[in-house]
Structure 1
Amino acid sequence: MPAKAIMVQGTGSHVGKSLIATALCRIFRRDGFKVAPFKAQNMSLNSSATPDGFEISRAQAVQAEACEIPPSVDMNPILLKPMGGFGCQVVLRGRPFATLKAGEYYDLKPILWEAVRESLKRLRERFDILVIEGAGSPAEVNLRENDIANMRVAKAAGAPVLLVGDIDRGGVLAWIVGTIELLTEEERELVGGLIINKFRGDIELLRPGLRFLEERTGKPVLGVVPYVEGLRIQEEDSVALDRPKVKREGEVKVAVVRLPHISNFTDFAPLEAEEDVSLVYATSPDELEEADIIILPGTKNTMRDLIWLREKGFARKL
């Protein structure tokens, strides 16, 4: 019997889809089920290696750990690695496939969708439950025709959708209502419920908003997840580097040069966790002055980042 599936989609990027999906993976595993994560297509500069040497997104590798299983390429058949103005590298089933512009990528949709279907089928044959994660928002009307990461996957897997909204950014009620209303009628039927993520404060003050959401959308609010400080789950996108960091006066001062096309920056997460290490992502040569250790990280665009290093004065400082 094919695995049952549940899908986590969001009102946008960075609303907490990956974390909610990871939590569900661990909950189902603790309940005794054989569970696996799945994300059809992920765009990220950070990746993980599978035990057999292939490449998948960092989020699905973390989710596999929550399921207490090794990661595999079926969990993330398509990985897109942006390369600045040169388009993006397409990693198909763990191997570099092509470097393409957006229009060229859409031309490959039949091949890519077949890879998604095959991976989904294999996982459903091996596990009891699949926890599927969407990408970005399902309501991008300009991208809907070529979207192979959201509602099309939910339909293929027969998965009810949990729609996650981030209240910490503000405007979550409008965000959720707008997302629901931009879906087609068939897509709205797939939405099983709503989740409010990153809540701080008094829940009683939120209850009128929750009632409004249920009345306006016809969907139940299934949960309100509190904001959690200090989560050390690895991030996928370099936008995470722009968030304020807790500053520590550690004995060892480490400066990582914040290249425009930085890749695999999560390699430095263990340093961030060390109490006696002060870690900064330097965007100015002046930030290197007091560093004991300076690190030049990996990049997905070597020549452009070399030009940037020279233009910003890093080359002279180094």
Structure 2
Amino acid sequence: MVAKTIMVQGTASHVGKSVLVAALCRIFYRDGYKVAPFKSQNMALNSYVTSDGGEMGRAQVVQAEAAGIDPHVDMNPILLKPTGQASSQVIVLGKPLGNMSAAEYHAGYTLQALGTIEGALERLRSKYDIIVIEGAGSPAEINLQSTEIVNMRIARMAQAPVLLTADIDKGGALASIVGTLELISPEDRERVAGVIINKFRGDVSLFQPAIEFLEQKINKPVLGVVPYFQGFRIQEEDSVAIERSAGQPDKDAEIDIVVIHLPHISNFTDFDPLEDEPDVKLRYVRRLEEFDNPDLIIIPGSKNTIEDLVFLKNSGLADRIIRQAKAGIPVLGICGGFQILGRELHDPLHTESNIPTVFGLGLLDTVTTFAPEKTTSQVEAEVSGSGFLLHGAGGQRLTGYEIHMGRTELTAGTRPAFNILVRSGEKVFFSDGAVSKDGQIMGTYIHGIFDNDDFRRHCIDKVRLAKGLEPFTGYKGLSVWDQRQKDYDQLAQTVKSSLDIEKIYTFMGLKGPR
């Protein structure tokens, strides 16, 4: 049987499409269907590596987890990772194709990619019962309609009914719905089966007159009003999520951890597990006046390491990090952050930047050279180094993934942090990362290290001990994985109770739960 399809599009970016797709995946999964997500083209710096070494957008990973399946690059055949204001690295079926300007991509590549997109969609449709498709931005972006490959062109390709979603929390939701339907073609307007109002705060009954007016105006049903949910977390891939949360600045916690909000920050979901710890206040800092006196400084991954290093120097943050490190505050760098901590960074082939050589922060005695080849792999590792964060954790096993371009060499007196034991399912043995001579500075290429519950708690407790606090002995929550599953269930319950799911099944030609 060829899978049934349903598509979630939005009146704009950031209206909650990704989360709603995750919710529908979970609902259909719990109703007994084999379901998979699909987004033909995604633009994000938060990415993930599949078990076979393919790179894909984080949102489709979350949606796959909600559907109870392993992520696969067919779920996100084209991933765009911005490298500048108008250019991106283009990743096709998990592998980098190269960098393109926006003009090159839209004028010369998008329509060529339709065969790749259709092939990925058809492979999914042959394996699953339902495919939940996510659009991007708005279908009413007139300037892109002739070359777009992610909204109505995909709905037509998949013969998918469209659920048009608007974010009422931003205001203007009704106008954006009416305007979107007015601007798309009659054929595409007919494909819109219904409307979802998302992120509603307050008493829904008071909104009922507006719903009735809207349904008469557009001659389409409002399928439900989804509340602005709180109390559980669904991972997001866009740095807008950082702006919204601001790391719970009012949270009463004993440990203050600062993550540097780089302009090209990537894979910031690395730090979600820290934010969920009861004794940790996690802050994303972009300006010097926000810095204060943290207990741990983290420099995260970056899609453009050299330019972000220049930003740190120009903003004064680099000098502040160096001063704090010399005063005994531990500093951790992950991926691009690891490279930034080093002595020198070289980009002779202009892989990431037009700057061929730049001095790093000099907190680790390492030298990084960028190269076009990209390392993407899932790994299993063990703690091999010592120093502030690693002392007492020797031999501890953890899992994670690598996404980086270039190699980092350790010079005199600098020790590795980890040994990689398994890479992409094959047994290997080589070192990763670095620890400074005094043990206060550490870097690694491994993303996801804080998803490992014992290792995360060990690191936090080391910071506690340095502050004269005892290790945390309070309530131990669920593992990261179990907490995610619980959150997916809560999301599904919230959305299912808000939407007319029976009508959505009818749109797909299905009778309902199995």
| TM-score, normalization by structure 2 | 0.61
DSSP-derived class of the 1:53 partner: coil
* Structure 1 contact 38–132 (Cα < 8 Å) conserved: yes
Structure 1 gap segments, 5+ residues each: none
1:123-272 alignment runs, 5 A limit: 123-245=124-246, 246-247=248-249, 248-272=251-275
* Structure 1 contact 253–279 (Cα < 8 Å) conserved: yes
DSSP-derived class of the 1:243 partner: helix
DSSP-derived class of the 1:155 partner: helix
Q: Is it true that 1:69 corresponds to 2:72 in the alignment?
A: no
Deviations, residues 195-234 of structure 1 (Å, cap 9, x unaligned): 0111111122211111111111111001111110143111
Number of equivalent positions: 318
Deviations, residues 254-278 of structure 1 (Å, cap 9, x unaligned): 0111111111111111111111001
> Over aligned residues, Cα RMSD in angstroms?
1.2
* Residue matched to 2:22: 22
Which stretch has the larger CA shift, 13-22 or 277-286?
A: 277-286
Q: Which has the larger Rg?
A: 2
| TM-score, normalization by structure 1 | 0.97
* Structure 2 contact 110–148 (Cα < 8 Å) conserved: no
* Residue matched to 1:100: 100
Which stretch has the larger CA shift, 235-244 or 47-56?
A: 235-244
Structure 2 gap segments, 5+ residues each: 322-514
CA apart distance, 1:22: 0.8
CA apart distance, 1:244: 4.3
* Residue matched to 1:277: 280
Distance 2:197 2:266 in 1: 31
Deviations, residues 178-198 of structure 1 (Å, cap 9, x unaligned): 111111001001000000111
* Residue matched to 1:51: 51
* Structure 2 contact 86–102 (Cα < 8 Å) conserved: no
Q: What letter corresponds to residue 275 of structure 1 in structure 2? A: P
* Residue matched to 2:302: 299
* Structure 1 contact 255–287 (Cα < 8 Å) conserved: no
Q: What letter corresponds to residue 45 of structure 1 in structure 2? A: L
DSSP-derived class of the 1:63 partner: helix
CA apart distance, 1:249: 2.8
* Structure 2 contact 111–147 (Cα < 8 Å) conserved: no
Distance 2:309 2:85 in 1: 15
* Residue matched to 1:13: 13
Distance 1:239 1:62 in 2: 17
- By relative contact order (CA 8 Å, sep 6+), the higher-ranking structure is 1
Distance 2:13 2:28 in 1: 25
Q: What letter corresponds to residue 218 of structure 2 in structure 1? A: T
Distance 1:151 1:139 in 2: 9
Distance 1:125 1:207 in 2: 41
DSSP-derived class of the 2:139 partner: coil
Q: What letter corresponds to residue 294 of structure 1 in structure 2? A: I
Distance 2:85 2:130 in 1: 39
Q: What letter corresponds to residue 96 of structure 2 in structure 1? A: P
DSSP-derived class of the 1:142 partner: helix
Distance 2:219 2:274 in 1: 46
Identical positions, percent: 57
* Residue matched to 2:3: 3
* Residue matched to 2:78: 78
* Structure 2 contact 13–137 (Cα < 8 Å) conserved: yes
Runs in 1 of length 4+ with deviation above 4 angstroms?
A: none
DSSP-derived class of the 1:308 partner: helix
CA apart distance, 1:51: 1.5
Deviations, residues 132-161 of structure 1 (Å, cap 9, x unaligned): 010111110111111100101111111000
